[in-house]
């Protein structure tokens, strides 16, 4: 917000200030509404972030347990050899609320498996370990998206709160105080003008009467 109000002189300044006061009041209403919506969405996404974080931790523990089982079977080499040379793909799906865009969901596309030698007696365990690791990767992607969404909404909520506070507690009161000062000054100017007109009218009337009286005496 500007620190100095450059107000036009006279009635134009009064109208200028009144208009900006109404704009500021509408801005307060809109920002207050936006803040409520952002707060509600932030709380909802916070629950999503907690849930995806717990799911990710559980998926990692599960994948680690299956990798340990695979190691006990001596089939870890088969897991490494069967790894695809292509990375997993992540498709981000976005959502938007009151103009704020954030990642709402992700879809993980697993790379095609490369056939490799199975460990001794570990084919079923190897297949299941791969599946559990894929679940952990997908859970990690979901958690990353949920955390990014939460941080985006938190930042926007904080920025909106700061702007609302600036208008409500500083800019709008300054407009209203300046408008009151301008209105008082205009009223004082109007009273001064009325007094000057009355004084001028009174002097003019006195000159006319005096001239009439003198004319009567001369006749």
Does the pLDDT value for residue 144 go beyond 70? yes
202: pLDDT strictly greater than 70? no
Give yes or no for residue 116 having a pLDDT over 60: no
On average, the pLDDT of the chain sits at 82
pLDDT number for residue 208: 45
Instruction: Using pLDDT thresholds of 50, 70 and 90, give the confidence band for residue 112.
Output: low
pLDDT band of 212, cuts 50, 70, 90? very low
Query: What pLDDT digit, counting tens, does each position of 65-93 carry?
Result: 988 887 777 655 655 555 555 777 889 99
- Comparison of pLDDT for 181 and 152, the residue scoring more: 152
pTM as predicted: 0.73
CA nearest neighbour of 79 among 108, 111, 113, 110: 113
At 217, the pLDDT band (50, 70, 90 cuts) reads very low
Q: What's the rounded mean pLDDT across residues 149-170? A: 96
Band the pLDDT of 14: cuts 50, 70, 90: confident
Q: Which of 50-54, 90-94, 117-121 has the highest mean pLDDT?
A: 50-54
- Rounded CA-CA distance 33/130 in Å is 48
99: left (phi over 0), alpha (psi -120 to 50) or beta: left
């Amino acid at each position: 917000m500007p620190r100095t109000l450059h107000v036009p002189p006279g009635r134009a300044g009064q109208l200028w200030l009144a208009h900006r006061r109404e704009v500021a009041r509408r801005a307060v209403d809109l920002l207050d509404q936006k803040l409520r919506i952002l707060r509600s969405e932030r709380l909802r996404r916070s629950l999503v972030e907690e849930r995806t974080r717990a799911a990710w931790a559980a998926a990692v523990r599960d994948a680690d347990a299956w990798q340990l089982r695979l190691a006990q079977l001596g089939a870890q080499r088969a897991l490494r050899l069967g790894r695809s040379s292509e990375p997993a793909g992540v498709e981000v799906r976005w959502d938007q609320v009151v103009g704020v865009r954030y990642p709402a969901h992700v879809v993980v596309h697993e790379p095609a498996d490369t056939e490799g030698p199975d460990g001794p007696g570990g084919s079923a365990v190897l297949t299941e370990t791969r599946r559990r690791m894929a679940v952990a990767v997908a859970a990690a992607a979901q958690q990353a998206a949920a955390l990014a969404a939460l941080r985006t909404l938190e930042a926007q909520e904080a920025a909106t709160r700061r702007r609302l506070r600036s208008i409500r507690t500083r800019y709008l009161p300054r407009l209203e105080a300046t408008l009151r000062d301008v209105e008082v000054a205009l009223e004082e100017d109007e009273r001064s003008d009325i007094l000057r007109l009355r004084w001028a009218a009174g002097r003019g009337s006195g000159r006319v009467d005096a001239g009439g009286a003198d004319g009567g005496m001369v006749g």
